[in-house]
Structures are given as C-alpha cells and as structure tokens.
Chain A
C-alpha cells in the first residue's frame, strides 16, 4: 500500500523535472525563433527596398517607359520569387510577372519601402508595396516570403522534434533516477513492512553505500537492534520473573500442603493464587505490548470465542440477578490469539458482573461495522467514576470507591494491551449511565 504512494511521489517528481527542463529549452528556442524570424523579415524588406530604389532610379530617368521595359525584362527572366505589375490608368496591365492585378489595394505614391504590407497570393506569402505613380499608373512591387516561411517552418519542425526528444530524454533520465531512488526507498519500506509484520530479525543484506540512503539504512538498523534488544529483554525478564517467583511460591505451596485441615492454610493458598494472578497479568500486559505485528497470530473465529466466553459467564451473571442479552453475529474472523481474546473478554465480563447490581443490564454485541468487527459490551452499572475517566486503562488504577471489591486494577490495562496486540481500536463512548466499551477488530482479509 505504501509502496504505491511512494512510487507516485517519485514518479511525479521525475515528470515535473522532465517537464521543467523541456519548458525551459522550449522557451529558449522560442526566443531564438523570434530573433531569426525578425532577421529574415528585415532581410526580405531590405531586398524589397533595393528593388524599389532601382525602379525609382529608372523612373527618374525615363518615367513609365523605363519602368515598363525594366519590368518586361525582369518578367522574362522571372524566378518566381518576385511579383512586379505595372498597369495604366484604366487598369490594363502594361507589363508584369502576371497578367492581372492581384487583390492588393493601392495606397500612396512614390518608391519608399515604408508601408510595405504582407499579403497572400497564389498560396504564398508576399511582402510588397502597391503605389499609384503620377498620371494614374498603378505599380506593384513584391517579393515572395516563401524562403522565409520555409526556413521558419524548418525551424519549427526542428523545435518540435527537439522538444519531443527532450521530453523523452527527460522522462528517461527522470525515470531512471526515480527508479533508483524508489528501489532504495522500497528496500527500506519492505524492511519496515517485515518488521511491522513481526519479523524483528529482518535486516537489509549487503554493504551500505556511503550516501544519504546508506545513512538512513544505518539508522533504521540501529533502531531495530535496539527494539529487538528491548524485546528480548522483556521476554527473558518475564521468563526469569516467572521462574524466580513461582519456584519459591511453589515450595511454600508444597509445605502448606502438609498442614492439614487448617482454615488459615486454605486462605494462604488463595492469597498466593491472587499474587500469581497479579504478576501473570503484569507479564501478560508487557508481553502483549512487546509483541508486534502478526507474528504468532492465526485466524480466529471471534464469534465463536465470544460466544464461548459469554456462555461461560452468562449463568453467573444471571445468578447475580443481572439481565443479560447477547447478539453475536456469526463468522467474524480476525487474525489473533484466541486465548488472549478469551482472556480479554473474560476480564471484561468479570468486571461487568463484579460492579453491576441485581437488576442491571449487561449487553454484549458483535456486529459488522464496515471495515471492522465491532464488539460492544454495555452495562447499566455504576460506570467509571469521573475522576478516573482518563486513566482507567493504566496499570494498578482503581477507583477509591471500589477498594473494598476484590481485584488488582490490571484488568482494563490487560484489555488495552490485548486490543493493541491485535491492532483493535478501543473506545469508551460517554453514556448517561453505566459503562460501554467498544472494540473495533480489523477484519481478516481472505
């Protein structure tokens, strides 16, 4: 799941970089294009000015006749790159590279290049002037812009091609870089996933490179070593505590066995059992807190476990005068430790029965709630005293009013630890009367 998101970020970065490089290059090329276009147009204009200067000189010498001869001569040797038309007062063409007057309107007189206009004719672009010479002779001098447009078209094609190539190269380089980064981040993510799944021994193989990723891997490994050492210490400690405390307790128990028929012996046994229960609960809590991920968890039918524990406690609750009700949806499977779950439910039901008075209701439901199985235990008993609302799940926390009741204040702490062990969400919604506890169990994905 995280892998996909990681990939998206890296790919997005690569794409943004490729696009940025392409945009910058295209900007630079666009500027150059503009420059070349201006230069080429200036050149075309200079050629047109030279033509016009030539015709002006001829006109100064012999007026229309000279112009007509020059245009006829030029038209005979036409290269197609120029358009020259001279007409008379009535619009009849006297000489020219073509027999008719093109669309261009005449404007002004004289041979100045200023006011040259760009127009289209015969599928080409032209730059030219059309003037009316004294006596009413219209004259058109134009040069084809075809070489300019051809060059510019070539340039545009070049730019487009280069842009595509740049995009491709950028994408390739970005992709390679992203893949490199992703591969190395992916390694660390895969390691984190394995650790989260309970494999505390997992480490990245091979030597570490001396770069940021190498450093990160080093940090992660150091953290894992520390967690593993703490975890081992917890496990070892619980075994040692068990052995070192239970062995002498056992000797006492055996010696008590030799005292026959005395009530005090029976009481001592009960006290010893209570002591064992306290440190068992403490060890259970620290083990559940130390164990991580799904290691040691198996598919468990939560419905069956819940029904079983409910069945065990229901008669007792009824005997105590409580009104019991259970709605347990079948087939709620979770990844868990059935024994721990049973222990947790037993603690909760034990509490409910202990604190409720005859006539109170105890209601247990297990239902489907979207992505979770929701287990809810509600009673109409005294509820949590307000002063311990925030810390009811801490170890050894008991309300002052309950001092007289048996118990050690570890039940709810164990409930919380077991819920955390299963990734279940623990919730104590506020209610007017009584105590409600909700546990949202992650569903087992088949």
Chain B
C-alpha cells in the first residue's frame, strides 16, 4: 500500500487529510512538527503533504533540506499562506503542488490523485495519446476524432492535453488555471468554464463526449465512457 506523509500541526486538518488519503487507498502517516516530519520523510513515501507555519519552522524552507536528505516523494504544500505570491514562492522552492487553506476535500483529492498518477507515469514523452476514437498528437499538436481533424486554438490544445494526461480523474478549475494558464490566484468569475465549454462543444460536434462535468468541483476527461472514469 502506498504511504503518504502528512506534516501538519492542526489536528483537525491532519485528520481530514488522513481521511482523504485513506479514500485514495493509501496509508497516511501523520507528523505534528517539522523536525519529526523531516526525520520521517526519508522513508518510503509517494507524496508528502506539508504545512508551512509549523512548530519548528516553515515547511517550504525545509524542502531543499528534505530533497538533499534523499526524500524522493512528491511534495504538496498545504498552507494557510495562500496568497498568489506565497503559492509561487512555494512552487519555486521545489514544491510539486501548492494548495491554500481552507481547501475543499474534493480539491485535495484531485490534486493527490494527480500527484500519485504523475509518480507512475514516468515515460510520458510518447507523441501519440490514443483514447478509442480520439487521437492526440503532442508534437504536431493535433487532435483527431474518428479520423477527422478537430481544429483547436493553442490554449485549447494545452487544455485537452492536461485533461488527457489526467484522464479518468476529476480535474478542478483551480488545477486548470494553474497548469494551463500558469496563474496562481482565484479570479472572481469562472473564466475557465467558458474555455472548457468551447472545447467540449468542438469535441461534441466531432462526435465525442469526452469531457464531462464532475459533480461539484471540476471536469473529467473520460473518452471511453463513464466506466473508465470510475475505475
């Protein structure tokens, strides 16, 4: 069973995160202080969920130390320091993802899933992604549905690529904004919905219902039907 390390001093939050980790079929290990977390981190973990304002210091400042100590796990910073500047700082200092508190359980779940998946998909530089009748060529930046070329704008192509890489899983609007547009703040309007809507209409016109709205928080790319999405 994959293990996920949770370094978090707020008991309530730690419990909530541990619950989500169990939902994902992983085993949580909880540490309450930074020193304890660093000592434990060298063990075999897939992901480390790291708080920032911990007894003993700032989790983000400790990332470099964790890495040099040999920790290979992907790091998700989960912090009350949630302004755009804090997020960018965290990512620049080596975090693999950064989620501000208060977070919604679905959001953390989606992000942990994406990180777990990233850990398994090492050789992802293959040019062609095929999902049944849907073909995505990364180098040529083309999309074909049922052998028909679907013209996409550059952003739409990046959008479908990100969705395809997380196929079958819920991808939140915030994840799309961060990974496709590289923006780390929360716009007041749901601008992302319009883009996904346009892409979805293009796919539907070509005869694919690959993009579906997920209950609550985002979208699922499920080109092979709902059974695949559930798996």
* Cβ-closest chain B residue relative to A239: B81
Instruction: Decide if B13 touches A251 in the complex (CB within 8 Å).
Output: yes
B82 at the interface (CB under 8 A from A): yes
Given A253-B102, A316-B194, A319-B194, A273 and B10 touching (CB < 8 A)? Answer: no
> Per-residue CB proximity of A264-302 to B under 8 Å, as 1/0?
001001001100110010011001000000000000000
A246 and B82 in contact, given A311-B155, A339-B184 (Cβ under 8 angstroms): yes
**Chain A residues with CB below 8 A from B85, complex form:** 284, 287, 337, 339-340
**Which of B26-34, B60-68, B185-193 contacts its partner?**
B185-193
Given contacts A250-B101, A269-B104, A339-B88, contact A243 B194 (CB under 8 A): no
Q: How far is the CA of A12 from the CA of B181 in the complex (A)?
A: 57
**Chain A, Cβ-Cβ closest to B195:** A315
Q: Is the CB of A251 within 8 A of B186?
A: no
B105 at the interface (CB under 8 A from A): yes
The residues of B that contact A287 with a CB separation of less than 8 Å are: 83, 85
Interface string of B90-126 (1 = CB under 8 A from A): 0000000000111111000000000000000000000
Check A312/B185 contact, CB under 8 A, given A243-B81, A250-B10, A257-B104.
no
Among residues of A, the one whose C-beta sits closest to the C-beta of B106 is A257
Task: Given A251-B13, A311-B155, A312-B181, check contact A343 B191 (CB 8 Å).
Answer: no
Nearest CB in chain A: distance from B61 CB, A: 13
List residues of B (58-88) whose CB comes within 8 Å of A's CBs. 80-86, 88
Which has the most chain B C-beta neighbours within 10 Å: A246, A249, A252? A246
Minimum C-beta distance from B78 to chain A (A): 9
A316 touches B80 (CB 8 A): no
A339: chain B residues at CB < 8 Å are 84-85, 88, 183-185
Known contacts A254-B13, A280-B82, A353-B189, A243 near B184 by CB under 8 Å:
no
* Distance of A191 Cα from B208 Cα, bound (Å): 65
Instruction: Give Cα A99–Cα B100 distance, bound, in whole angstroms.
Output: 121
Residue pair A239, B53 in contact (C-beta under 8 Å): yes
Chain B residue with minimal CB distance to A284? B83
7 contacts between A and B (CB under 8 A): A249-B102, A287-B83, A312-B181, A312-B191, A315-B195, A340-B85, A346-B187
- A75 is an interface residue with CB less than 8 A from chain B: no
List 18 additional contacts besides A249-B102, A287-B85; criterion CB under 8 Å: A242-B80, A243-B80, A243-B81, A246-B101, A247-B10, A251-B10, A253-B102, A254-B15, A254-B102, A254-B105, A276-B100, A308-B183, A312-B191, A319-B194, A339-B88, A340-B84, A340-B85, A411-B188
* CB pair B184 A247 closer than 8 Å: no
Please tell me if the beta carbons of B185 and A343 are within 8 angstroms of each other in the complex.
yes
B residues with a Cβ closer than 8 A to A are 10, 12-13, 15-16, 53, 80-86, 88, 100-105, 155, 181-189, 191, 194-195, 198, 216
Among residues 142 to 190 in chain A, which have CB atoms less than 8 Å away from a CB atom of chain B?
Answer: none
B83 and A283 within 8 A (CB) = yes
Interface centre among B16, B101, B194 (most CB of A within 10 A): B101
Question: Residue of A at shortest CB range from B177?
Answer: A312
- Contact of A342 with B by CB under 8 A: yes
In the assembly, what is the distance between CA of A371 and CA of B104, in Å?
Answer: 46
A243 — nearest CB in chain B belongs to which residue? B80
Residue in chain B with minimal CB distance to A287: B85
Question: Which single member of A243, A269, A277, A340 contacts B188 (CB below 8 Å)?
Answer: A277
In the bound complex, do residue B188 and residue A350 qualify as a contact, i.e. CB atoms below 8 Å apart?
Answer: yes
Are B191 and A250 in contact (CB-based, < 8 A)?
no
A333 within 8 A of B: no
Q: Is A390 an interface residue (CB 8 A)?
A: no
The residue of chain B having its C-beta at the shortest distance from the C-beta of A311 within the complex is B155
**Is A119 engaged at the interface, CB distance under 8 Å to the other chain?**
no
In the docked arrangement, what's the CA distance between A257 and B104, Å? 7
Contact at B183–A346, with CB atoms within 8 Å?
Answer: yes
Which of chain A's residues have a CB closer than 8 A to the CB of B86? 242
Q: Which of chain B's residues have a CB closer than 8 A to the CB of A249?
A: 101-102
Nearest chain A CB to B178's CB is how many angstroms away? 11
- Contact string against B for A residues 225-264, beta-carbon threshold 8 Å, 1 for contact and 0 otherwise: 0000000000000110011011101111110010000000
Question: Which residues on the A side are within 8 Å of B185 (C-beta)?
Answer: 280, 339, 342-343, 346
Docked pose: A354 CA to B187 CA in angstroms: 12
Distance between A276 CB and nearest chain B CB, rounded to angstroms: 7
Alpha-carbon gap, A176 to B140, bound state (A): 71
* B176 CB → nearest A CB, Å: 11
